[in-house]
Amino acid sequence: MRPPICRICDKNLVDKDDGGLIYFRKRPSDKEWEKRMEGIGGVGHPPYAEWFCKKHYDRAKELKHLPINEALKILRSEGT
């Protein structure tokens, strides 16, 4: 797992209450990643998951039906 830092504003999520991890819709490449990890018995930060601070968490959650790259594009275009 990556250190919990908001993907949008780089806020450090020191406390669990400061935000959370959101899993987005898996792209074909994400499914391949999972298969690869299963194969080697590895664990890592899923490419389709990202941390968000409290301020961005709710909006990110609304977009979790989208692949992560599209969701981030929307979140960034909306600003803070």
Binding residues (CB under 5 A) for Zn ion: these are: 6, 8-9, 11, 53, 55-56
Q: Which amino acid would we find at residue 43?
A: V
How many Cβ atoms are within 10 Å of 61's Cβ, its own excluded?
14
Phi, psi for 15 (deg, rounded to 5): -100, 145
Q: How far is the CB of 34 from Zn ion (least distance, A)?
A: 26
Which residue, 10 or 38, is less far from Zn ion as judged by CB? 10
Q: How far is the CB of 12 from Zn ion (least distance, A)?
A: 10
Q: How far is the CB of 18 from Zn ion (least distance, A)?
A: 9
C-alpha–C-alpha distance, residues 68 and 73, integer Å: 8
